[in-house]
Amino acid sequence: MLTIGQLAKKHTISERTLRLYHDVGLLVPQRVDETTGYRYYSPNQSARLDTIIQMKAVGLSLKQIKTMLNSCDLSA
């Protein structure tokens, strides 16, 4: 499992961005610690994050990205 900090560093994005992606349902952590609230991501979630980053880079909104990813039935 990767912490939010590890995943953010690996993809050169901020932890704040990952929190936003969680809040809007784009990239829901594999596990959230009930006591601390820390988010943990599985290594296979990196592929979905790469896709989100690429779609953002071409100008798609988060709503458009969510719709497209959900219609493609990619795992979260």
Q: Which two tokens stand for residue 16?
A: 């704040």
pLDDT at 5: 95
- Report yes or no: 71 and 33 within 8 Å, Cβ to Cβ: no
Question: Smallest Cα–Cα separation from 30: which of 20, 19, 43?
Answer: 43
Q: Domains in the chain, ordered, with CATH?
A: 2-72 (1.10.1660.10)
pLDDT at 19: 96
pLDDT tens digits for range 23-44: 999 999 999 999 999 999 999 9
State which residues of the chain have pLDDT below 70: 73-76
* Model pTM score: 0.86
Instruction: State the chain's maximal CA–CA distance in angstroms.
Output: 38
